Structure 1
């Protein structure tokens, strides 16, 4: 009976929302005209990538990009622009020089890239033999003791490659969008894949990886080379993230206990770590298997910078509201990136959408009732650090929300690449279906019409959603995100799609404006019992290689 009553109440709420939801079609038309016909989104992206990219968390380049974004907001006429610190983070890192040549019977440049926060090679070229550590058990691993000192070591199996019979770029088909729209449960969300597991096989694999790293450090190897089994790691592209700092599988994976390559807890004897393209990696394994002597001549020079508590920033900018100015609508995207490319589709396109949305609203003469606040987050790639800190500071914890949280309306996030918006994830908040349907209607002809109850995870809206605050991510066409650009050396300006970017920024502006003009605050859902408050110390996937 209680279930029936809850469902009946939900139906009434949805019907009431459908009856009440109105939008200012005249202002939405102005927003669309400004965004689609006078866009600056791709020029903003060029500055973020070509000049200030990549923007690794804690690096001088990240700080410079935050300062540039602040000044750009000010130049747009946006008020109350400031940098808000969220540190401490750890050690800053930048790549100063890198080269690697494969030396066999001939010399060939090695398609590869250093991992972030990898130690260097003291600024000098090191030439050493390559060894393939082919071990799947502790017994096999012990056979390499005393044989690895001063060597470059390949760890991990070679990855079989297949021809690209399926194009690497794609858009959502009507049938795929229909499946999303008809989903009857709010699944997914919470954490990214690969951040945990409880079965015995998983623990054994983690323990083996840990012991392998202990051996590599004790042997004082020249460097460790890996190769990810991903399409982004082949065809001349390298899929590269952070250096591994080994954690025993029994160690609680919290910020207090976790060892990361960027913090002071990292072992002093961590070896240099390089990600290698699949083709080059596979070739070295085959050559060694044929008895050939393989060497690498490598130069790796890196710079470490100490970080103060106030050296990691979120960029905050506001368009003040009118009669409901104490209430807040937020839009955001993460400013930090990985270092292999220039941070274009992850997440320069999202940042440009947010900045362009604010420009569109200002240029359109919008007078929002609620304050519209833009946030460019830092530290997303290491575990939503900037957004989590912001939410904890301003809105509290799940069981102790602040007064500001009571005046919070909604947060909209962009972090799924360069693809145009096809709709929005409701995060299980079914009461919003008629609201979002009305907001998307003026953009149906641009391909944006899908509303799904599904959760999506892995980005900054989760920091809000964890507290029960309305936080949303747009559905975006994949384009080449999962196959080519995400966390790879091909994440560059040239892979962005201009018309898609125009549309995404325009949708962001319209959603922010519509949310600011509603008579009622956004309907809320209960925080998921599976999701702990971001105000607490908890495990979040940090985008590392998990001991590969």
Structure 2
């Protein structure tokens, strides 16, 4: 009788295990089917990038994005709210219009930088000067009065507007090498001249403003056709304008050859005072272990040179889509699934650092976090972030993902803990298992990262769809896993630069009062 009972129980266990495996397979298949046949990615991308636009912290567009995200989650039956974590300098971009009036009339390709002071509707008209070549800071001080009433050009004139790959394809080897040598000589001389002046590109604008300049003209080329990096202004009264390489070079040559061009700049903007900053937090409550958590992570903010499509619109819509799919095919997760769309990542991971600081109960009970933040490409790399046993569970979950999704992924375990770069680092520093879903480049660094070209048309939806599938399956498996993930840390190696033993990164507090005067 006991033997018969044992066999019955064994049979029941085997059948239950088989049915459980079948159920897992069915959920994975349902995730892939929903993502493929009913994808919402194109619609989400259009609404976020085309309609709402760039999401600079402290701007009305950032607020609009947070409101839109909550409404979108709620339409899918997912609880969501905007959680305030700090304050920031409020600013609203207006019209940018840059015209050369002399020696001929032409509208130039450029824009004001974020937080640039306004010129007002009438704008500012003046001639230009370039930075002088000086032997020391005293010589530069003597030159400074000449900037009064002028626009000052503070960037090096680029010797070529063609990216290196273009030269490599078409130039002779000798010509390519000659260009690189001449360019390096020019770069070295430019940097040395800054040292001679006693300034850096970070603090020169303030000095020129104090000396009476009416505006700053720069060109921060991103080493790709038509691509410039667009960041923030650091002046209080005068506008800072970034021009295309082509137009900047033309003006620079005119000044150097004595043509004396005249520029009119209209750069309207509005200061909005102190405004609140938020994270959008969406939650699918767990049914069996509601106090254990999986987080789907992406920063929601962007710079505003373009619409922030690949940094980090694609990461945001990946997490939105993964959450939508999970709510539809896996509505009652074992553990609680949270979507965190963080604010002010671009100024120092502020939104995620605030969440780590404000929600220790989530950090202490985090099963896993999956973050995506480096472009539109399919995920090609996952590392263990220094967690000694990460392979055991990440590897187990990845085995359930269809091969057409995982075939491009290379993994490295245990890896090293992130010390910055994106929001998963905020959680890693706190000892929580958080992982980056790192993407294929698609020329991210030159063409879309923080540039004027980071727009909807750069999105590769097939790759983003793969990422949404991968994220949803990993979240499902992390939720269902009968085991808690290990937080045991690997022994870190010796720093090759310092020769000292590496230590785990420290938790850092966020900036909760950004760009606000004391």
CA shift at 1:206, angstroms? 11
The equivalent residue for 1:314 is 279
The equivalent residue for 2:184 is none
The equivalent residue for 2:172 is none
Q: Show CA shifts across 1:59-106 (max 9, x none).
A: 111111100100000001113x111001122x1111111100123432
Provide the secondary structure at the position in 2 that maps to 1:145: helix
Which of the numbers 212, 228, 231 marks the counterpart of 1:241? 231
CA shift at 1:162, angstroms? 5.5
Kindly tell me the number of residue pairs found equivalent between the two proteins: 451
The answer as to 2:299 corresponding to 1:334 is yes
Which of the numbers 208, 216, 221 marks the counterpart of 2:213? 221
The answer as to 2:385 corresponding to 1:393 is no
Q: Show CA shifts across 1:374-432 (max 9, x none).
A: 0111111111111111111112xxxxxxx443322121111111111123122122422
Considering fraction of residues, name the structure with more helix. 2
Q: Equivalents in 1 of 2:462, 2:319: separation in Å?
A: 16
Distance change in 2, residues 1:128/1:386 (3 Å): same
Query: What are the equivalent positions in structure 2 for 1:441-520 lying under 5 Å apart?
Result: 441=399, 442-446=401-405, 447-453=407-413, 454-455=415-416, 457-520=420-483
Q: Whose radius of gyration is greater, 1 or 2?
A: 2
CA shift at 1:356, angstroms? 0.3
Distance change in 2, residues 1:215/1:163 (3 Å): closer
Q: Equivalents in 2 of 1:526, 1:536: separation in Å?
A: 24
CA shift at 1:43, angstroms? 1.1
Q: Which runs of 4+ in 1 moved over 6 A?
A: none
The equivalent residue for 2:187 is none
The question of whether the paired residues in 2 share the 8 Å contact of 1:104 and 1:295 is answered with yes
Q: Equivalents in 2 of 1:206, 1:523: separation in Å?
A: 54
User: If the length of structure 2 is used for normalisation, what is the TM-score?
Assistant: 0.81
Unaligned runs of 5+ in 2: 1-20, 168-191, 491-501
Query: What are the equivalent positions in structure 2 for 1:50-199 lying under 5 Å apart?
Result: 50-79=50-79, 81-89=80-88, 91-135=89-133, 137-161=136-160, 163-164=162-163, 166=165
Q: Show CA shifts across 1:463-522 (max 9, x none).
A: 101111111111211113112111111111111111111111111111111111111222
The question of whether the paired residues in 2 share the 8 Å contact of 1:41 and 1:505 is answered with no
The question of whether the paired residues in 2 share the 8 Å contact of 1:58 and 1:312 is answered with yes
The question of whether the paired residues in 2 share the 8 Å contact of 1:440 and 1:448 is answered with no
CA shift at 1:526, angstroms? 4.1
Q: Equivalents in 1 of 2:265, 2:409: separation in Å?
A: 51
CA shift at 1:344, angstroms? 0.8
The question of whether the paired residues in 1 share the 8 Å contact of 2:205 and 2:216 is answered with no
Distance change in 2, residues 1:475/1:167 (3 Å): farther
Q: Equivalents in 1 of 2:473, 2:295: separation in Å?
A: 12
CA shift at 1:348, angstroms? 0.8
The question of whether the paired residues in 1 share the 8 Å contact of 2:92 and 2:271 is answered with yes
CA shift at 1:524, angstroms? 1.2
Distance change in 2, residues 1:143/1:282 (3 Å): farther
CA shift at 1:279, angstroms? 1.9
The question of whether the paired residues in 2 share the 8 Å contact of 1:341 and 1:489 is answered with yes
Provide the secondary structure at the position in 1 that maps to 2:122: coil
The equivalent residue for 1:296 is 263
Provide the secondary structure at the position in 1 that maps to 2:287: coil
The equivalent residue for 1:400 is none
The equivalent residue for 1:15 is none
